[in-house]
């Protein structure tokens, strides 16, 4: 799913440059990047927590997990604040960029449905 986030982020950034201008596109790219990093961090934290639960032998401290969650939101908040104070168009693009994982999930769900129907399930 992470690759779909990157692909859609790049494609929608190019579309935003063409349709809304460079300022909105930069905001969108920043939002898509923050969404990608946040989703990647969440994925890593959940895998780490699951590994801890099943006792895979890799010790993971609770402090590191909490910091991972906190830093995700801190990064998003700082970037949003900087963009919000600089340009309303860029902030609007940033908010739409944060929604890129949702579009990637829909795309991947459609891909999985197609693959399942193609296999005859």
| pLDDT tens digits, one per residue of 56-102 | 565 556 676 677 778 888 888 888 888 888 888 888 998 899 899 99
Q: Please tell me the total count of domains within the chain.
A: 1
Q: Between 19 and 59, name the one with better pLDDT.
A: 19
> Using CA atoms, how far apart are residues 95 and 4, in angstroms rounded to an integer?
18
CA dihedral of residues 49, 2, 113, 99 (deg, nearest 10): 100
**pLDDT given at position 28:** 94
Q: How far apart are CA 60 and CA 57, in angstroms?
A: 9
Full domain range(s) for residue 89: 2-119
Which H, E and C letters describe 11-64, residue by residue? HHHHHHHHHHCHHHHHHHHHHHHHHHHHHHHHHHHHHHHHHHHCCCCCCCCHHH
pLDDT, mean of residues 90-117? 91
Mean pLDDT of 27-51: 85
Closest to 3 measured CA to CA, from 115, 105, 93, 114 = 105
Higher pLDDT among residues 24 and 63, named by residue: 24
pTM for this prediction: 0.78
């Amino acid at each position: 799913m992470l690759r779909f986030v990157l692909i859609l982020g790049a494609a929608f950034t190019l579309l935003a440059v063409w349709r809304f201008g460079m300022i909105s596109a930069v905001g969108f790219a920043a939002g898509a990047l923050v969404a990608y990093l946040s989703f990647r961090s969440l994925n890593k934290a959940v895998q780490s927590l699951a590994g801890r639960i099943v006792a895979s032998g890799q010790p993971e401290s609770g402090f590191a997990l909490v910091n991972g969650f906190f830093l995700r939101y801190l990064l998003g908040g700082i970037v949003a604040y900087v963009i919000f104070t600089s340009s309303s168009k860029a902030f609007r693009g940033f908010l739409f960029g944060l929604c890129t994982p949702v579009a990637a999930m829909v795309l991947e769900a459609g891909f999985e449905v197609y693959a399942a129907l193609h296999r005859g399930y």
